[in-house]
C-alpha cells in the first residue's frame, strides 16, 4: 500500500511492555501498525528519540460545568489536549442542570460538541424521585456509565441516592452491561462528624479531614459493592483516598464480582500534613486528601494491581470559592487535566515502577470501564490513533504560564515534574505541539459505548 498518513517514533509504551526503538503508523485516523526498528514511510513523520510514546489518556472523571459561566468544555478540553488527555468522561452534575433523562443527555451532547477540542463521553445520573425510570433512555442517548452518590452534597445538583434506589438502578444498568460509579461517603456518619467539628471550633485545614474520617468512605464502599454484587452490576468506586478501600475492592474481585476502583491523582500526590496544611481550601476535596501514610498505601496497592483507574476529578472553581479561611466553607475539587500524565509518570519514576502502568491506568482500563475499547485505550491496530508523547524535560509546574487553563491556580503549582507532553495526537491529527493547543472547538467527537454483557468487560489489573 501507499505511505502511511502519520508515523510517530520513540519508546512506544503498550499495556504490558515498552518497545524501545518503536513506531506507530497511522492511516485514516486509526493505528494500522505498531513495530520496532526502521519505521515505514509516511506523509507526516515525527521522531521523538528517547521520549515515551503513549496512548492518549482517558480521564475518567471531569466536571466541566460545575460552576455556571466558568470553565465549560472549551477550556476543560483545552487543558486536556495540553496534558495528553484525548478523551474526557464528564460528570452529570452540571450547575442548574442535572443530567438525569435521555433528553438531557442529548442536550448536553449538542452543547458540548461544538465546544470540545478532544473527544468526550458522558456519565448520566438520576433524580432520586424518578428512580430507574429513565435509565434505558439515557443508555439510548449514549451514556457511557452512570454516577450516583451516597452523600448529599446538594439536594438538587448532587443528591444522595438511598440504598433501595441504588439497588433498583443497578439492576436496570446491569441489563445494558454498563457500569455504575458511586461517590463513596456515608451520609449519616459524615454529618455526625461534621457536627463534632463544628462543636470543636476547629476551622483550619484540619477541619475537613476530621469531618470525613476514613470509615465514612469504606462503610459506603461496602454498601455499594454489596448492592452491585446482588444486582449483577459492574460496581465502580469513583475515588478512594484510603488503602483499606482497595482491600475491599480486591476482595470482591477475588470473589468473582466486577468491582473496580479509582485513585484520583491528588490522592497519589498530595498529603494532609504538608500540602493541605499549606494550601488550605485549594486542597479541599471530597473525600479528603489523607496523611502521607495513606498516600504510600495507595502506591503499594497500585504496584500490586489493585488500582483500576487513575483520574483527575478535575473542576476549575473560581479562586474566591477556594480561599475561605474556614476550611469547611470552600468548594471541593481541584483542576488537574494539564498535569495528569506528568504527575503519574513522576510517581512511577520515583518508585521505579514500570511506565506501562500509565498505559493501563490512564487508557486501557478506562476504555474497558466505559465500554469504549472498540475505539479508545491502546496503541493497537484498529483503535483511534490517540497518542501523547512525554519527553524528559524537568520543570516546575506553573498553571498560569501555559495559557491552557481557565484558572491560574492549582494545588500542583511549584511541583517539579520530570516529564512533560511535547505532542498530543487525536485520531492521527496533532492537537498539541508542546506549546500550543492546535485543536479548535468542535474538533472533538462524542464517544458512544458498545453495549454487551457485563462479563465481557471485566477490567484487568
Q: Which residues sit opposite 57 in a β-bridge?
A: 85
pLDDT at position 457? 42
The answer to whether the beta carbons of residues 34 and 22 sit under 8 Å apart is yes
pLDDT by residue (tens digit) across 259-301?
A: 999 999 999 999 999 999 999 999 999 999 999 999 999 999 9
Band (158; pLDDT cuts 50, 70, 90): confident
Give me the DSSP letters along 62-119. Answer: E-TTSSTTS-HHHHHHHHHHHHTEEEEEE-SEETTEE--SHHHHHHHHHHHTTT-SSE
Q: What percent of the chain has pLDDT over 70?
A: 97
Domains of the chain, first to last:
54-381+447-457 (3.20.20.140)
Q: 3-state SS of 136-154?
A: HHHHHCCCCEEEEECCCCE
Q: Using 50, 70 and 90 to split pLDDT, how confident is the model at 2?
A: low
Q: How many angstroms from the chain centroid is the CA of residue 358?
A: 13
CA 72/CA 42 separation, integer angstroms: 37
Cα 366 to Cα 372: distance, rounded to the nearest angstrom? 8
Residue ranges of alpha helices (H) inside 144-205 are: 163-174, 187-200
Mean pLDDT of 125-138: 96
The C-alpha atoms of residue 146 and residue 175 are separated, in whole angstroms, by 13
| Mean pLDDT to the nearest integer, 162-166 | 96
Q: Which of 393, 394, 396, 375 has its CA nearest to residue 384?
A: 375
Contact 376, 87 (CB under 8 A): yes
Q: What is the mean pLDDT of the chain?
A: 96
Q: Is the pLDDT of residue 181 over 80?
A: yes
Helix (H, G, I), strand (E, B) or coil at 1: coil
| 316-339: average pLDDT | 97
Place of cell 487543558: 79
Query: For residue 322, what is the DSSP state?
Result: S
Amino acid at each position: 500500500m501507499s505511505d502511511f498518513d502519520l508515523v510517530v517514533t520513540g519508546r512506544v509504551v503498550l499495556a504490558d511492555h515498552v518497545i524501545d526503538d518503536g513506531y506507530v503508523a497511522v492511516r485514516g485516523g486509526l493505528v494500522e501498525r505498531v513495530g520496532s526498528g526502521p519505521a515505514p514511510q509516511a506523509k507526516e513523520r515525527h521522531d521523538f528519540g528517547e521520549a515515551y510514546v503513549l496512548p492518549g489518556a482517558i480521564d475518567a472523571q471531569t466536571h466541566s460545568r460545575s460552576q455556571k459561566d466558568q470553565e465549560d468544555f472549551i477550556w476543560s478540553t483545552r487543558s486536556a489536549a495540553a496534558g495528553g488527555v484525548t478523551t474526557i468522561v464528564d460528570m452529570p452534575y452540571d450547575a442548574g442542570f442535572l443530567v438525569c433523562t435521555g433528553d438531557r443527555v442529548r442536550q448536553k451532547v449538542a452543547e458540548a460538541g461544538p465546544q470540545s477540542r478532544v473527544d468526550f463521553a458522558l456519565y448520566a445520573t438520576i433524580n432520586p424521585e424518578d428512580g430507574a425510570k429513565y435509565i434505558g433512555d439515557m443508555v439510548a442517548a449514549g451514556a457511557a456509565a452512570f454516577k450516583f452518590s451516597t452523600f448529599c452534597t446538594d439536594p438538587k445538583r448532587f443528591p444522595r441516592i438511598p440504598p433501595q434506589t441504588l439497588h433498583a438502578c443497578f439492576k436496570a444498568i446491569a441489563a445494558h452491561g454498563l457500569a455504575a460509579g458511586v461517590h463513596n461517603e456515608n451520609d449519616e456518619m459524615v454529618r455526625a462528624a461534621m457536627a463534632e467539628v463544628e462543636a470543636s471550633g476547629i476551622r483550619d485545614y484540619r477541619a475537613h479531614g476530621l469531618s470525613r474520617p476514613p470509615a465514612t468512605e469504606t462503610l459506603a464502599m461496602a454498601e455499594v459493592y454489596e448492592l452491585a454484587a446482588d444486582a449483577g452490576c459492574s460496581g465502580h468506586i469513583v475515588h478512594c483516598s484510603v488503602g483499606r478501600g482497595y482491600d475491599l475492592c480486591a476482595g470482591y474481585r477475588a470473589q468473582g464480582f466486577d468491582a473496580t476502583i479509582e485513585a484520583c491523582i491528588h490522592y497519589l500526590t498530595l498529603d494532609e500534613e504538608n500540602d493541605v496544611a499549606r494550601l488550605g481550601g485549594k486542597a479541599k476535596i471530597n473525600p479528603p486528601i489523607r496523611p502521607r501514610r495513606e498516600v504510600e498505601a495507595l502506591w503499594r496497592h497500585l504496584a500490586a494491581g489493585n488500582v483500576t483507574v487513575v483520574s483527575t476529578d478535575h473542576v476549575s472553581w473560581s479562586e474566591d470559592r477556594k480561599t475561605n479561611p474556614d476550611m469547611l466553607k470552600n468548594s471541593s475539587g481541584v483542576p488537574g487535566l494539564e498535569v495528569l500524565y506528568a504527575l503519574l509518570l513522576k510517581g512511577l519514576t520515583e518508585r521505579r515502577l514500570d511506565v506501562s502502568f500509565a498505559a493501563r491506568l490512564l487508557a486501557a482500563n478506562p476504555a474497558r470501564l466505559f465500554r469504549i475499547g472498540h475505539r479508545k485505550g491502546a496503541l493497537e491496530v484498529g483503535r483511534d490513533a490517540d497518542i501523547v508523547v512525554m519527553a524528559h524535560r524537568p520543570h516546575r509546574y506553573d498553571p498560569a504560564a501555559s495559557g491552557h487553563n481557565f484558572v491560574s491556580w492549582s494545588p500542583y503549582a511549584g511541583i517539579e515534574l520530570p516529564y512533560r507532553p511535547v505532542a498530543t495526537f487525536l485520531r492521527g491529527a496533532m492537537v498539541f505541539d508542546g506549546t500550543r493547543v492546535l485543536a479548535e472547538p468542535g474538533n472533538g467527537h462524542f464517544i458512544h459505548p458498545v453495549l454487551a454483557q457485563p462479563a465481557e468487560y471485566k477490567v484487568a489489573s
